[in-house]
A and B are shown apart, each in its own frame.
Chain A
Amino acid sequence: MHEQQTIEKITYRDALRQGLEEAMRKNDKVFLMGEDVGRYGGAFAVSKGLLEEFGADRIMDVPLSESGFVGAGIGAALGGMRPVVEVMTVNFSLLALDQVVNNAATLLHMSGGQLNVPVVIRISCGIGRQLAAQHSHSWEPIFAHIAGLKVLSVGTHEDARYMLGMALQELDPVVIFEYTAMLNHESEIHEDQIVRDIKKAKVRRGGKNLSIITYGAGVYKALEAAEKLMGVGIDTEVLDLRVLRPLDIDAIRATVTKTHRVLIIEEAWKSVGVAAEVTALIMEHAFYELDAPVERLCGAEVPIPYPKHLEDASIPQTEDIVDKVKKMVGK
């Protein structure tokens, strides 16, 4: 099927590219379209070299018009193709939101079930590269709010490698969030961390004293925090949500039932975010398993600052997580 990658370390960027290459080779209806994906090799070099292999018909540079090319991608999907539309950064995705909400997410309903829209929209996002307030957004909660979409968040190398392939199996629109700040991060692909579906959350680390529920850029930070916490005798479970819409209620209930204490980590602004939704689900499905109030560590509710130290302070960092967990379990 694919080469074993259990020992060699690869970057998050390479994992994304391998996933893309594999999808293109498997199905000739799959094509990539987006700003600078071809000749430039992608704004973040994810599609570097693909133009040479697959040609300009399948690695398609598009004009700077998010509404236009996302709409074109939706049209191609309706026409029987399997387009992968890359939106260079999440900041620009707002320009395409009308196409996403009113066409991609809604056409199945408006057509009385006749028109599926199997488009996959990849979006780079996140905070931590000193790109300032207009280029450092976490819009996962906005997209996760939209009925009719499936929303995925790539928090690990395993998901970077395999999520796209699974998204391309779907009949309906899928939005995938990738994290700019993680592109150069190197890791092995661990067989036991690969999840072969896009329905379930994944326990990245088992633990018994407290559960950290997170996604995206929060996953590795939570795992790092969990390692440090183990040093002071706190055994932390880390649940990677992976799928932000629809949320995996069973996995959330299972981890609460196991540890009885929950901290939710999210880089997006705290109010009305995914963390708030997870908290509400816990109240609805696992209230009597709670031994302490659910707590959240989320992004500060400010436009993301440019200076490095302020940018770092605006989102939860590993040390913040460690401190918070210690406080929660009373150590």
Chain B
Amino acid sequence: MIEFTMPSLGADMEAGTLREWHIEPGDYIEHGDIIADVETQKGIIEVECFDEGVVEKLLIKEDEKVPVGTVMALINPVGGEEREEAVVHEKPEKMHETRREPVPHVVSPVVEHHRIKISPLARKMAEENHVDYTVIKGSGEKGAIVKEDIEKAISQEEEQPKSTEEKPGTTTNFREAIAAAMTKSNREIPHYYLEIKVDMSKSLDWLAERNKQRQVKERILPIALLIKAVAKALQQVPDLNATWENGLVKKPEINPGLVISLRTGGIVVPAVRQADRKSIEEIMETLNNLIPRARSFKLRSSEISDGTVSITSLGEGGADRVYGVIYPPQVALIGLGSIKNEPWVENDMLGIRPVLSITLAADHRATDGHTGDRFLKALRQQLLNPEVL
């Protein structure tokens, strides 16, 4: 009999709440099937099962909170006489056990990790290449992960690391997670703020020109151009594309996270991976994919955790500027106000220009105002010369 246990969905997770079973006793499940929704501090996460068999018994009721490692369900594996025998022997015992120990609170908090079948070679390769083999489906005998699976994972890595799907919920927990992160930020990070105003006429003209040839659906929005400009400016000032973990840790990839507010309240910050290497069109495509998924809570955990810097944008017609709170452990947040026509002085002449107010909130432990200033100037340079983007 296979024991399906509360998985550890992050190093800091101690317990999880079962929100919903997707299975019932008697259901046949396959390796990789999503069998339950579990709520953690990070939100509601769909939990996969890595075994194949028939569900024997569900031991945890919905809305019960249990420690990581607690047996949640019993699965009867398919095939093998040996196993079937084991089932016969184990069944009565297990049922006694569950009766004797009414599940949630009595269960000892010993963390019992789900055993993953992986060959020694595959494990060694995974460790050397920093591949998370816990999310890989094995193609070897009895679902074991073998060399080929790791090789595939390595080659797919660049496109997108496979991961469990994560659904940030709209629950109190979700609000609590935002609260905790923002409190930590304001408590620990000494913010400094800088602002610059940029004449967006060249950028907007350039975009309008390019959008002329496109279908309405394919039009590029200013945010895609702005993300690209931010990424390029960060190339020049890499100190802001970093985290602070008892010291400045610069990140090799530039993955700006875009703050997206949810209609039901709360925010998520999915990352546009390697935005500096993507074209503006590719960034727009990524956004078209990310934003609807963010709003329907269908982001992958890697998309949420891979950000190296954050961008918050107010959109049109709203407040003029935004002074953001840094998302720890990142060290910078770029605030984009709304683009508005304003009086503008250039060459001692007064004119009307579409003006964008860009702010930078940065961690003073990590960088100084001079660095921030260099970044904003680099960003303005990009926006004044959109053709080089």
Contact = CB atoms under 8 A, between A and B. Distances in A.
Contact of A288 (B121, B141, B146): B121
B121 A330 contact: no
Contact of A330 (B123, B124, B140): B140
B124 A288 contact: yes
A291 B124 contact: no
B144 interface: yes
Nearest to B150: A291
Nearest to B121: A291
Contacts of A328: 141
B228 interface: no
Contacts of A45: none
B139 A289 contact: no
A292 B121 CA distance: 8
B147 A260 contact: yes
Interface string A314-331: 000000000000001010
A289 B122 CA distance: 8
B119 interface: yes
Contacts, number: 29
B121 A260 contact: yes
Contacts of B147: 260, 291
A54 interface: no
A292 B139 contact: no
Interface residues of A, number: 9
A328 B140 CA distance: 9
B315 interface: no
A290 B121 contact: yes
Contacts of B124: 288
Contacts of B139: 330
A191 B120 CA distance: 38
A92 interface: no
B122 to A, nearest CB: 6
Contacts of B119: 260, 290-292
Interface in A219-257: none
Contacts of A306: none
Nearest to A289: B121
Interface string A2-25: 000000000000000000000000
Contacts of B122: 291
A290 B124 CA distance: 10
A107 B366 CA distance: 76
Contacts of A292: 119, 140-141, 144, 146
Interface string B129-172: 00000000001110010110000000000000000000000000
Contact of B141 (A260, A287, A290, A330): A330
A290 B140 contact: no
Interface in B358-386: none
A290 B141 CA distance: 13
Interface in B100-125: 119-124
Contacts of A289: 120-121
Nearest to B146: A291
A70 to B, nearest CB: 45
Interface string A99-114: 0000000000000000
Residue among A289, A290, A291, A328 with max Cβ neighbours from chain B (10 Å): A291
Nearest to A257: B121
Contacts of A290: 119-121
11 contacts: A287-B120, A288-B121, A290-B119, A290-B120, A291-B119, A291-B120, A291-B140, A292-B140, A292-B141, A330-B140, A330-B141
Give the 5 A-B CB pairs with smallest separation, nearest first. A291-B119, A291-B121, A291-B147, A288-B124, A288-B120
